[in-house]
Structure 1
Amino acid sequence: MNQTIHWTEHGQSMQAMWGGDSRHPAPTQIQTISQISAEQALQHMRQNIALLWRGDYHQGKQLLAAIKKRVHSKARTHNDFHKHRLQQAQHSRLFQQLLIEIQPDGQISNNRAPNVAGAITDVYGSPNHTNLLLPLHLLLGYIGAHEWHKTGVSIPALNEQKIHVPYGVFSPVRGEYLQLVAEAQLPEPCHSAWDIGTGSGVLAAILAQRGIAHITATDNNPRAIACAQANIQRLGLTGQIHIQHTSLFPEGRADLIICNPPWLPAKPSSDIETALYDPAHQMLQSFLSQALNHLNSNGQVWLIMSDIAEHLGLRSSEALPQWIQSAGLKVIHKTDIQPTHPKAHQHHHPLANARNREITSLWQLSAQ
């Protein structure tokens, strides 16, 4: 968020910081509006003319909803994952063309607009010192994420204690695999554990609850580090869990190394998708290839993976077992569970055929 956007409004030169998704270009043409039809708005947006909404805030939300409805109704249904992702990226870029201006104190001058200081601080880490120009659809996502952050997600495997997750950190809302981690037999002995790519810190917390005395949780995302630290402190587990900002492994060895990497080998099309997509399974393969070098004698590697990439034709069913074997590891136990999240049972989603067959597994591995 360091690019300044300029536009002219009522004959005056205006400027604000650009807060749109970094994977899409900032607008070069901006037109201010307070009333327009969805069809007219789309015509401008398809010509790369961004629309800065000055009308009633709730009418702006209605306009965005009408735009999305028109775009989605005309969208082609792609059973092919790559075509589906391309279309998603094109839609995301289009929706980024309807803007809202936010003042440094989180106020929005539009009629009936809420104060969004909390949501903005959640995303950017500190209050703005200048006006911010933001796509309305991103702002609505920030507001929704902020409410989830405040409310928290109840975790059955933590006796219904809550994990609080801000925007940009993977949330355990679909946490069927957490119970697998809570119930799987630990290696013997198991005095130390590492949670690689900890995100919210939920896996580290479950391992601490199981009595492991020394746990290191790592991540390379500063937002995830701050999130995990806050959750671990809130749960009273700072005596057992150390959070470390690093890529993959810390120094030394552990009795148990656990990782829940991104499940889909694709390029993220937005900043928030980096927890979901791992191009060419780079993180997964790096983790597997290095894990044995950090494992104590009789230690185990626990890998949490979904097979949805196989159902989408993005990974063969033989690939993961081959990578495990090539890393000098062997499977000692594998536990499967079916997803319980609502998307797994949708029948009209373009990728429903894969989602309906998805299985999530806990792979327990040891040295060959």
Structure 2
Amino acid sequence: MLATQKQYVQWFENETLRHARWLSESNHLPPARIVLVDDKTTADEAYRLACEGTSLLWRGDFHNAKQLLQALKRRIERTNERSEQRKIKKAANKPAKSNKTAAESSETPKDIPNLFHQQRQIQAQRSRILSRLLLELDTDYVSHLRRAPDVSTACTAAFGQLDKAADESCVLSFRDLQGALGAAQWREKGVSIESLGVSIYPHYGVFAPTRHEYVQLLLDAPLPTVNNVAYDIGTGTGLLAIILAQRGVKQVVATDLNPRALACASENFTRLELANVQLQQADLYPTDAPLANLIVCNPPWLPAKPSSSLEYAVYDANSTMLLGFLQGAKQHLAEQGEIWLILSDLAEHLQLRTREELLDWFANAGLAVKYRLDTKPKHGRSQDDTDPLFAARSAEVTSLWCLQRV
């Protein structure tokens, strides 16, 4: 999420010191070194500067900036491929301690957590390099580059209004601008949830439910006998709350801490004319709400540190949200109530958490497993055997854990 305190960036242009508001969705610090680049700048030169930590403020044709970003991506991929080949060659030249090949040795189970963290480091470095290609927009989010599209509506929706009274311009990464434009398209066309017969309209900075095999689990799970009140903890786009409302729960209280998520969920509830859903900004559980007969939660699945607002939907440092949810559930649950926890076991296959740990967390929270429903993922990465983490992804199972008081 964008930092609440304004930050500014400055650079010299035509012997004049310029400054503008700095926008970064990943909360990158304002760049210390900026050079002006344009259509004459080669991709090799831009890549060298970006790798050295220099940010590149684009002054050429807008569409040529898109081409430069693609060229930077290709150079990063080639660099990573050469690095991987060197590692394989080095492993192959080591004295053999077993009959395993170098490739087999690099995929032993003990290496999986390291491989996961290495992949995250590679992704973070890739993001840092690509985020060094910058654009300047004026106070109305208008770009004055040649062939620049109208981005003002998408940027206003993503980043809010700039200070027009101060004639405030902004500088942001080309990648963040592309993210805002992509989010505007998702928000306009929506994400179809076929098993539910509705479309969900994500906002910028709110995780889009493009992967929704778990929806069928919530449709298949039998509702508690008494289902007057349900909570949806960490509602995001509001999808789980919509499922509960459409299944006939009389009162659904949906919570989230992210203002973007609350605005997104509110819009989705209004589109579907759901009068029985209430929204509340809260860190996990609502206040001044009746005890719930049913509490549902789809927390981040992987215990690792998020680096952007979207990653908070995937990564949960030290399993903080999951543990907080479990530890607070019992005191908000009515007698004979149920908890539906939607959770992937990918963390277990990546050896970031064990099944025994998860079951211990349930027990320590005074909860027991009533039943579990499982489904296999259908997303592309689970089928991609070129993914370094394919063994873990292909074995993944997403479960609805139905928990109750001990």
Question: TM-score scaled by structure 1?
Answer: 0.96
Partner amino acid for 1:122?
Answer: A
Three-state SS of the structure 1 residue aligned to 2:146 is: coil
1:200 aligns with one of 237, 245, 250: 237
Give the deviation of 1:127 after TM superposition.
5.0
Could you say which structure has the larger radius of gyration? 2
Is this contact kept in 2: 1:174–1:341, CA < 8 A?
Answer: yes
**Could you give the per-residue CA deviations for residues 291-312 of structure 1, whole angstroms, max 9, x where no partner exists?**
0111111100000000011111
1:111 matched to 2:149? The reply is: no
Residue aligning to 2:276: 240
Aligned to 1:124: 159
Tell me if the contact between 2:206 and 2:309 (Cα under 8 Å) persists in the aligned partners.
no
In structure 1, the residue matched to 2:213 is 176
List per-residue Cα deviations over 1:179-228 (Å, max 9, x = no partner): 11122101111111000000001100110000111110000111111111
Q: Which residue of 2 aligns with 1:138?
A: 176
1:106 positional shift: 2.4
Offset, 1:112: 0.9
Instruction: Give the CA deviation at 1:271.
Output: 2.7
> How far does residue 128 in structure 1 lie from its aligned partner after superposition?
5.6
CA–CA distance in structure 2, aligned partners of residues 304 and 196 of structure 1: 11
CA distance in structure 1 between the partners assigned to 2:195 and 2:131 by the alignment: 38
- What's 1:228 paired with? 265
Q: Does the CA-based 8 Å contact 2:11-2:34 persist in structure 1?
A: yes
Q: How far apart are the structure 2 equivalents of 1:363 and 1:85?
A: 28
Q: How far off is 1:333 after superposition?
A: 1.0
SS at match of 2:381: helix
One-letter identity of the residue aligned with 1:203: L
Kindly, what percent of the aligned residue pairs are identical?
A: 43
Quick check: 1:308 aligned with 2:346? yes
Name the counterpart of 1:84: 119
Q: Deviations over 1:88-145 (max 9, x none)?
A: 1122111111111112222211111111112212222335632110111221122112
Letter in 2 for 1:250: P
After TM superposition, list the pairs within 5 Å mapping 1:1-368 onto structure 2.
2-34=6-38, 35-75=40-80, 76-77=83-84, 80-126=115-161, 129=164, 130-159=168-197, 161-237=198-274, 239-251=275-287, 252-368=290-406
Alpha-carbon distance between aligned partners in 1 of 2:157 and 2:216, rounded to the nearest angstrom: 29
Distance 1:126 1:181 in 2: 38
What is the number of equivalent residue pairs in this alignment? 366
Give the superposition deviation at 1:72: 1.6
- Counterparts of 1:177 and 1:135 in 2: how far apart (Å)? 34
| CA distance in 1: counterparts of 2:204 and 2:44, whole angstroms | 31
1:104 aligns to what SS in structure 2? Answer: coil
Residue pair 1:117, 1:127 contacting (<8 A) in 2 also? no
The CA distance in 2 between the partners of 1:320 and 1:225, in whole Å, is: 29
Gaps of at least 5 residues in structure 2 are 85-105, 107-111
RMSD: 1.5
Please say if residues 257 and 300 of structure 1, whose CA atoms lie closer than 8 Å, have aligned partners that are also in contact. yes
Which letter does structure 1 place at the counterpart of 2:243?
I
Q: Which whole-Å CA distance do the structure 1 matches of 2:130 and 2:316 have between them?
A: 24
**Structure 2: which amino acid aligns with 1:82?**
H
In the alignment, the residues of structure 2 paired with residue 233 and residue 97 of structure 1 have an alpha-carbon distance, to the nearest angstrom, of 39
Q: Deviations over 1:36-87 (max 9, x none)?
A: 1111111111222211111111111111111111112211459611111112
Contact 1:120-1:127 within 8 A present in 2 as well: no
Q: Hey, what's the Cα distance between the residues in 2 that align with 1:352 and 1:145?
A: 28
Distance 2:246 2:161 in 1: 33
TM-score, structure 2 normalization: 0.87
